[in-house]
Amino acid sequence: MGRHKRQKPRRSRGGNDPSATEWFGTAFHSTEGMYHLDVRRSGNGILITSSPAEVDGLPAVRPLRLRNDDNGQGLDELGTALATGRPHGISVEKGPAFETALVFIPRYPEEGVGTLARVRTTEGPDADVVFERRAELPMQLWAEAGENVCRIVPLLGPDAPPADKPEDCRLCPGCYRPVYDSTTSHTLLGAGAVPVVGLCRLCAEGTTLRSLHQADVPIGPQQLAVLETVAAALV
Ligand SMILES: [Zn+2]
């Protein structure tokens, strides 16, 4: 994998500030484009959404909701593993001859990249290991996400409402970042000459396009068209 450039993530702290319970980061890759990772409180748990931004194909989003059933211990352990780049596994489902687990594999499939995956292991004569879902992202992005998991866990609170269904997210048409209703840096541009809705704030402000130019990162033609439309409207 080529070089990575990082955008400084926005973060804020504070008691009732809704942005205290969310974080997102973007990594710019010289050949692969943008990677997004979003961490937020979702009821009595944490929602981690990874979005490798495809350059030519369809954007893929992978929301992963982790319940807090043990006073934050399990989430803290995962967050610490991500933050320190250590392997970690959580058993999700166990049957007579199979086990499904959520695993973090640092420096896999190559140096500088880590994989968070749901893996199904079967025993017996058909023994097999299958990656049911996986997200491969720069280690640095996982590390920051892990720090923020640990930061947000104490803010979950014992009386947080259980949310069994993750919130729906849309993809920002400019950068394919996952945008939730609770995303505080979310903006809508609908009125006026620019028929573009659902842009995240970084795209609406022109920050994404500037970062892409600075880092010389590839971007899909549709996304570029959206960002250039916005840039023209900003002038
Ligand atoms: Zn965007």
Ligand 1 centroid–CA 104 distance in Å is 27
Ligand 1 centroid–CA 40 distance in Å is 17
Instruction: Tell me the residue type at 129.
Output: V
Residue 105 makes CB contacts below 8 A (sequence gap 6+) with: 87, 114, 115, 116, 117
Ligand 1 centroid–CA 69 distance in Å is 33
Ligand 1 centroid–CA 232 distance in Å is 16
Residues 197-226: tens digit of each pLDDT:
788 888 988 899 999 999 888 898 988 988
pLDDT-derived band of residue 188, with 50, 70 and 90 as boundaries? low
Ligand 1 centroid–CA 79 distance in Å is 26
Residue 213 makes CB contacts below 8 A (sequence gap 6+) with: none
Residues 37-46: tens digit of each pLDDT:
999 998 889 9
